[in-house]
Structure 1
């Protein structure tokens, strides 16, 4: 049995990596951060009181503890990173940046079947983010599992472009956050956005094209997890404030669609939110019949329940504060199931 085995987001979950708020940082607003969040040139980030940062860190760890207990109740093995020390700046020959925390393994690492890939992230502060998870990933490698890294990007200024007011990435080098992808067995949907360029998808096709079919889409400005969630074969959850069925990849348009339009705003602690109220859609499936939803999202829970899905409500107070929900802050390493095609 492979320790790494995950082809979709709905097979019975057996092992997962959760993030850590231990060394939570607020990266400086450099060109890559401004580009990702589409911040105006004049935007200035306020300094946050240490007491506020500590409150967020403490409450996030409390919520991670609740999530861990819930997952373990379903027999899921939960792994946590040893967050690396972030006092030193990340420095390359081209730029310098404050390093980022280890909150969101879904962004910096991608699992395609039996292979774990370190993503070539466009944000400079996240250049070494996957290092915080090496205490876990090297255990997999030493047991014979497949780990590879995409080419490390240069992230020079000419990668960050704006078409009028819309940010997009140049095609100078492969760039993508792993959260730009939807995994659906043999079919992988890749969102071209300001957090993933076509060169990134082309690299994935070059390496994995003999095993997977890659489909390009452009449904939102960055990560896809607050716009589309695949819940099980034939059932998809979409953000009704952003897209409709006609905007879905053609392969998904015949699926049963849950259109969610009423997110509850959980608020945020810092001077500006790193995620919109749609972080409420960032759900995590335990299996085809069971989904973890943030406890404030009663409307979403009701919509899922009406489709026969059992909902587990769980506290996660700072999704907007840090820019990630249950799905962002986790990485499903092993799920039951094998490589299948759902569109033949």
Structure 2
């Protein structure tokens, strides 16, 4: 049973970098392959590749991923961090609602996608894909424990979208890359603007300021809902865009804050220039990540993420970062920036859609709400 202890609430995280005290690490147990649906067209990598598999993941693949997730949990425990794990869940069950059906669900490897801590508040995202509609369930028992333990903890659940056919652009996946390039400034992707849609992993916390990436998994209605919900509580919500990313999904492989004044950036996905100004006007340094060790072609055959999972690091404190074991160029950069770098093998988790940051949900950091952008000119919610 969780108990409240003193000045810091049991749920307390205002940014991505302050000293980590408690975290949830995901699990591959029961994981299934992502089904094809209007918001997702998974493909096997490689020329002449076989059709994408269906149903439960092979036991050996689950075991390999769980071994590396356990390794991350052990490393965090050795750093004095309390580690919690999601409850078991049968992802092989189909999803059926009045508006849609999905043949199976996905996994609980990436809690970051669905759950986020905003100060002393737990927020459950809507999610954008049918197979992930009930992905909050493995974390619900933990949420109740935190909520029951401390009256300072609040809990907000975003409105569930219908995920009906009309919520998606059915022809999006057939657009040639040239059309994607021509329309890149429109920020129109596979999800329409008619319903509130967002994944929590499209959000990044900077004290009182929250960045939200408009993407394939977060639309403008979702950002508008976040602004109206969070700004009365003292947050400032900033939409951000990375126009050269033709299939944007989740900000933590593109724009990763490491400590106050420093962001690790993706050299192939620069932030829109007018949005970069928020950082340059406030003295922040944006440093490009080196090219990953793996190319996109080298990624695991069932991985739907890009080579830039290399950037998906987890900050233990403003001076200490966990990096994937084989990403030596990134480790060298982090060393040069003054960080202590811890490493852990994590390649076998990649096919589940994430790396170290994706596979965790930070519950408590030793932090307070700070204003890191005093020079920002801000327009409140409308």
Same fold (TM over 0.5): yes
User: 1:309: which partner in 2?
Assistant: 339
Structure 2 residue runs without a partner (length 5+) = 1-7, 181-188, 375-382
Q: Deviations over 1:12-33 (max 9, x none)?
A: 0000001100011102111121
Which string of whole-angstrom CA distances, capped at 9 and with x for unpartnered residues, describes residues 123-167 of structure 1?
Answer: 110000010111211111222321120011101112222664543
Is 1:215 matched with 2:238?
yes
Which of 286, 289, 292 is the equivalent residue of 1:257?
Answer: 286
What's the counterpart of residue 146 of structure 1? 154
Q: Does residue 1:62 correspond to 2:62, yes or no?
A: no
2:52 maps to 1:22: no
SS class of match (1:31): coil
Partner of 1:115: 121
May I ask how many residue pairs the two structures share in their alignment? 337
Give the number of the structure whose residues are more often strand, by fraction.
Answer: 1
Residue pair 1:258, 1:303 contacting (<8 A) in 2 also: no
Deviation string, structure 1 residues 96-140 (Cα, Å, up to 9, x no partner): 111121111100112111111110111110000010111211111
Aligned to 1:193: 215
Instruction: Indicate whether 1:80 and 2:85 are aligned.
Output: yes
CA distance in 2, matches of 1:96, 1:55: 28
SS at match of 2:253: coil
In the TM superposition, what are the counterparts of 1:153-164 in structure 2 within 5 Å?
A: 153-161=161-169, 164=175
In the alignment, what sits opposite 1:172? 194
Report if the CA contact (8 A) 1:22-1:83 is conserved: yes
1:101 paired residue number: 107
Q: CA deviation at 1:332?
A: 0.6
Structure 1 portions without partners, runs of 5+: none
The residue aligned with 1:333 is 363
Query: Are residues 83 and 248 of structure 1, via their aligned partners in 2, closer, same or farther at CA, if it must alter by over 3 Å?
Result: farther
Deviations 1:47-68 (A, max 9, x none): 3797x72222111111112111
* Corresponding residue SS for 2:23: strand
Q: Is 2:13 aligned against 1:6?
A: yes
Which digits, 9 at most, give the CA deviation of each residue in 1:22-46, with x for residues without a partner? 0111021111212x98x9xxx9833
| Worse overlay, 53-62 or 224-233 | 53-62
- CA–CA distance in structure 1, aligned partners of residues 131 and 367 of structure 2: 35
Alignment partner for residue 304 of structure 2, among 271, 274, 279?
274
CA contact (8 A) 2:241 2:271 kept: no
**Alignment TM-score, normalising by the size of structure 1:** 0.92
